[in-house]
Amino acid sequence: MDLTELTIKQAHEGLKNGEFTSVDLTKAYLEKIKQSDLNAFLSVTEDLALEMAEIADEKIKSGNFGLLCGIPCAIKDSIMVADEKCTAASKILENYSAPYDATVISKLKEAGAVILGKTNTDEFTMGSSTENSAFGVTKNPHDKTRVPGGSSGGSAAAVAGNLACYALGSDTGGSIRQPASLCGVVGLCPTYGAVSRYGLIAHASSLDQIGPIAKNVEDSKTVFEAICGRDNMDATSVDYKFEEEKTGLKGLKIGVPKEYFAEGLEPEVEKIIRNEIQKAEIAGAEIVEISLPSSQYALACYYIIGPAEISANLARFDGIKYGLSEPGNDLLDVYLKSKGHGFGAEVKRRIMIGTYVLSSGYYDAYYKKAQEVRQLIRQDFAAAFEKVDLIFCPVSPFPAFKIGEKADDPISMYLADIYTIPMKLAGLPGISVPVGKIGNLPVGLQIIGNHFQENKILSVAGLVESKE
Ligand code: GLN
């Protein structure tokens, strides 16, 4: 038996029945990571993993342990694990070590989880392919000449390549769902506020959310349940308790946004998504065409609001407070050198756009307008959810693309998130669940729900996921 192929549930059963220990499981993953050429991990926390596995084995012996106890996972390198490196895949944080645990990590530790290491991402989670990482691209396990998606590409590739039983990622505009779709795993982006952001290196704070990437829907639910809820360290987190709900397809009203099936969506992806919609209809769901007219402005809106928040959030990396500090003739010289050498091209691009749209004279024309558009997008979704229970649509307009194919064309890269960004601007939850393949390249279906309806999303996702 290859231990690394097990789901959380299966591994839990094995631990419970004494078929193997958490140390066995952990060693199997560590060995596999060593042999892997995917570049999914930026650092492997071997000592920590083995120490956690031993603690978990003690708990298991006592008989009182939950589903995540002793199960090895991978953590995106923008989420802090105390005393371990946390680079956000940036040169500016290359030697930075986290001073404390993110709340999600404290929760996983409490559940007895085993942390194998930190996974690759686009620098400061800005990108859709991991090509913006300062430490090399991650390869897609289904085709190593292709990207795994991004920014949580390392986490998605780790789970798809059996280098971790599950992983945590973060999603600002699609970074959990898009790589999950491209790697054929399940990625859940929770409602804004459902999971604490404390200890997550900020990209755009009004959008960032941490969520699970797992092998199946059931595992995603287990991890989500363990990490969600109010945290006093994040004032935007809400008191939320996940309650499982059995939602069937019969009588369910599924909205299909007409604007989402337009030019740019690859015909083979469209075919797979339409096929899923039809299968749901045959199973008794009522398919309702809906309109999300303001979604056409979502990308433009996101690339104003996102950079505006980035320019504020990343001001702290000044060569003095954190990370890389280059000597200079005076203070300005220190700033210029540290930021100039520390940040990559995409991060610099966004800091500059963000500074521009917030500057006096342009604030009203760009930032304020984008906030108004964001409100319209919210209203579109609110109107849709008066009529339907869930929305079905694509995650990505195309399957995994070739490494290098879009790297020099930011606009074409930004289009990768055309279906994942609009609902993010409305703070809604969504999942990517694998439903088909083009050749050997996976395609995910996106299921979007109303605020805090993860239970409904997960329940229906469990019914449609491919069970190969
Ligand atoms: N790809 C999008 C971007 O580059 C989304 C990234 C994310 O969700 N972190 O901003």
Residue 427 banded pLDDT, cuts 50, 70, 90? very high
> In the predicted model, is pLDDT for residue 467 greater than 80?
no
Question: Which CATH number is 464's domain given?
Answer: 3.90.1300.10
pLDDT digits 0-9 by tens, 266-297: 999 999 999 999 999 999 999 999 999 999 99
| Mean pLDDT, residues 187-208 | 98
State the closest ligand 1 atom to the C-alpha of 174, by its place in the atom list counted from 1.
8
Radius of gyration, CA atoms only, the chain? 21
Residue 151 a catalytic site member: yes
In 349-427 the beta strands, taken as DSSP E runs, fall at 390-394
CB count in 10 Å sphere of residue 410: 15
Q: Whose C-alpha lies nearest to ligand 1, atom 10?
A: 126
State the closest ligand 1 atom to the C-alpha of 303, by its place in the atom list counted from 1.
10
| Domain, as residue range, for 343 | 1-468
Residue 8 banded pLDDT, cuts 50, 70, 90? very high
Residue 309 has a pLDDT of 98
* Of 255, 251, 256, 253, the residue nearest 284 (C-alpha): 251
Residue 175 a catalytic site member: yes
| Mean pLDDT, residues 97-111 | 98
Q: Which of 90, 152, 155, 175 is catalytic?
A: 175
* Of 299, 298, 275, 295, the residue nearest 287 (C-alpha): 275
Q: Which of 22, 106, 133, 151 is catalytic?
A: 151
> In the predicted model, is pLDDT for residue 210 greater than 70?
yes
Q: Whose C-alpha lies nearest to ligand 1, atom 5?
A: 173
What's the rounded Cα separation, in Å, for the pair 439 and 281?
26
Distance 396 CA to ligand 1 centre (A): 13
In 89-185 the beta strands, taken as DSSP E runs, fall at 114-119, 166-171
Number of domains in the chain: 1
* Of 424, 448, 444, 410, the residue nearest 122 (C-alpha): 410
| Mean pLDDT, residues 415-439 | 97
pLDDT digits 0-9 by tens, 296-351: 999 999 999 999 999 999 999 999 988 999 999 999 999 999 999 999 999 999 99
Residue 322 has a pLDDT of 84
For the chain, percent of residues with pLDDT exceeding 70: 100
Residue 76 a catalytic site member: yes
CA 32 to chain centre: 23
Residue 466 has a pLDDT of 78
Q: Which residues contact 400 (CB under 8 A, 6 or more apart)?
A: 140, 142, 143, 146, 147, 148, 149, 182, 183, 441, 442
pLDDT digits 0-9 by tens, 118-146: 999 999 999 999 999 999 999 999 999 99
What's the rounded Cα separation, in Å, for the pair 221 and 242?
9
Residue 1 has a pLDDT of 84
Q: Any bridge partners for residue 187, and if so which?
A: 213, 432
Average pLDDT value over all residues in the chain: 97
The enclosing H or E element of 110 equals helix 103-110
What's the rounded Cα separation, in Å, for the pair 362 and 68?
49
Hunting for tokens 């506020």 — which residue is that?
Answer: 193
Distance 310 CA to ligand 1 centre (A): 12
Distance 49 CA to ligand 1 centre (A): 29
| Mean pLDDT, residues 151-180 | 98
What's the rounded Cα separation, in Å, for the pair 53 and 161?
21
Residue 447 has a pLDDT of 98
The enclosing H or E element of 269 equals helix 267-282
Distance 306 CA to ligand 1 centre (A): 9
| Mean pLDDT, residues 25-54 | 98
* Of 459, 436, 467, 295, the residue nearest 389 (C-alpha): 459
Provide residues with CB under 6 Å of ligand 1.
Answer: 125-128, 151, 171-175, 203, 306, 417
Q: Which of 76, 215, 339, 406 is catalytic?
A: 76
Residue 186 has a pLDDT of 98
> In the predicted model, is pLDDT for residue 245 greater than 90?
no
Contact 446, 393 (CB under 8 A): yes
Distance 112 CA to ligand 1 centre (A): 30
What's the rounded Cα separation, in Å, for the pair 286 and 290?
12
Residue 468 banded pLDDT, cuts 50, 70, 90? low
